[in-house]
Amino acid sequence: MLKGPLERRFYPTPPHPEFPRSEFDARIDHIKKLMERDNIDVLVCWDSRNIRYFTGFFSAHWDAWSIQPAVCVIPREKEPILVIPGFFNGVAEGMTYVNDIRAQEDPHLTERIRELPIDVAQLIKDLGQGNGRIGYEGGRLGGMGIPRPANDILEFQAALKDAAHVPAGDLIWECRIIKSTAEIEAISVATESVVEALGELVANFRVGMTEREVGILMMKKALEKAHDLGTFNMRCSQTRYPMVDTPPIFDAVPICKGDRMVLELLPTYKGYRGSCCRVFQVGELSKEARSSVDIVEAGQSAAIDAICAGVTTGTISGAVQKVFHDAGLNIEIEMVGHGVGLTGHEPPMLTAREETELQEGMVLAVEVWKYDVAGFEYGDSKQASKNLGPFGNEDLVVVTRGGCDRLPAFRKDILSLRYNP
């Protein structure tokens, strides 16, 4: 059973909100208009990123899956409601503008944990929506789901058996896909921390360092500005060229002359991800490697030049495809970028197979890759010398009416690192 609405006991107004009251009001107003359009009576959010987006509530306790730190219930005709374990009252009051706060008593008891879906369902009934249309986090677009055990959600839906449960994930993305000035600023700060971390590496790299040592060096620098490290994609050894999206945990992977280093750090600032991926050669670039670098650079430039509000994602991908074809490469480009925000990989996807129209205010990661791992692919040791490795860059841009604005980016004239010990 939930207690509340609770009186604000600690803070009459939140002293530590991540965004201003005007932005909170705008986000709630936007989602309610979309709910009215799609005939949704109540939206229920269980995912920490959606709850953070709509209310400002955030806690380091999300990793403890046994306890749900918050549930956000947004009725179309009433103010939003935040359901929390009782001991998070101070967090809710200190970070959010939500005034209707309901508390779950004894949230550490297994019995109470299992009762939470029933409690939320009862709250919806008390709102007079027991037979209404209830929106949940799911839909066609990726990256949206309910991060709770299936039995919780099944019990929630069973307790509202007279209601219609409808996917509302795409509706939530309509809100989140366009970034406000405050959101763009947060992404920019996070990206700037990556740029500074790359500079730290260039200044301090020595041959023989392990991947983990490089990772520690960069992460320490990034944390001087970022709030959290997020994720880190790293490949620095020829033995690992085919292994994409792996973290810097490899102590036994020394970096040697001739290696190519893929470095993609995605730290967060106020929950928003930043990124600026760079690939360095340890030592001088061969003629063949330089050719691949030039093609990737030309492809990324073509993509950025083509970005503009109203242009489709397929057009952006096609611009890169043309660069590759003109260079005589019979390579089909799968993806040349994606959205960035509270996660590092959001809609829209910049692919040839989708025709999503770009909108002003979208933040996009524009990334173009070329992989040369023939020896690995065919298991031919004689081809090993031809494994030039991965080539790629990633930079963030904000879509504008007439083109795009670039966010902080590391310089591109540094293509190789010194290799003398």
Q: How far apart are CA 270 and CA 189, in angstroms?
A: 9
- Report the DSSP beta bridge partners of residue 95: none
Average pLDDT over every residue of 258-263 = 91
pLDDT at 397: 98
The pLDDT-based confidence of 315 (bands split at 50, 70, 90) is very high
Write the Ramachandran bin of 95: left for phi over 0, alpha for psi from -120 to 50, otherwise beta. Answer: alpha
pLDDT at 184: 98
pLDDT at 58 over 80: yes
pLDDT at 418: 76
Query: What number is the average pLDDT over the span 324-350?
Result: 92
For 373, phi then psi, to 5°, come to -135, 45
What is the per-residue pLDDT across 59-103, written as a single tens digit (0 to 9) for each?
Answer: 999 887 788 999 999 999 999 999 999 999 999 999 999 999 999
The domain covering 2-176 belongs, at the CATH homologous superfamily level, to Creatinase/prolidase N-terminal domain (3.40.350.10)
Per the confidence metrics, is the pTM higher than 0.85?
yes
Structure tokens at 330: 């019979």
pLDDT of residue 177: 96
Mean pLDDT of 16-26: 96
Residue 150 Cα distances to 47, 104, 155, angstroms: 14, 20, 9
Residue 301 confidence (pLDDT) above 80: yes
Percent of the chain with pLDDT over 90: 74
pLDDT, tens digit (0-9, with 9 covering 90-100), for 192-233: 999 999 999 999 999 989 999 999 999 999 999 999 998 999
Predicted pLDDT at 385: 57
R_g of the chain computed on alpha carbons: 24
Which of 195-209, 242-256, 280-294 reaches the highest mean pLDDT? 195-209
Say yes or no to pLDDT of 288 above 70: yes
C-alpha 8/C-alpha 268 separation (Å) is: 30
**What does the pLDDT read at residue 374?**
64
pLDDT at 250: 79
For residue range 359-402, what is the model confidence (pLDDT) as tens digits? 999 999 999 999 887 656 555 555 555 667 889 999 999 999 99
Residue with tokens 């309509």: 174
Within 8 A by CB and 6+ apart from 258, the residues are: 238, 281, 282, 283
Output the pLDDT for position 381.
53
Place of tokens 């020595």: 206
Where b means 16+ CB within 10 Å and e means fewer, 66-105 reads ebbbbbbbbbbeeebbbbbbeebbebbbbbbbbeebbbbe
Is it true that domain 181-417 has CATH number 3.90.230.10? yes
The pLDDT, as a whole number, for residue 379 is: 55
HSE-CB for 183 with a 13 A CA cutoff: 22
Domain with CATH 3.40.350.10 in the chain: 2-176
pLDDT tens, 106-139?
888 888 888 999 999 999 999 999 999 999 999 9
* Angstrom distance (rounded) from CA 108 to CA 407: 43
Q: What is the DSSP string of 339-372?
A: E-SSSSSEEEE--TT--PBP-TT-EEEEEEEEEE
Start and end residues for every CATH 3.90.230.10 domain found in the chain: 181-417
Q: What is the pLDDT of residue 49?
A: 96
Average pLDDT for residues 251-259, to the nearest whole number? 86
Residue 126 to residue 142: CA distance in whole angstroms: 32
**How large is the average pLDDT for residues 324-344?**
92
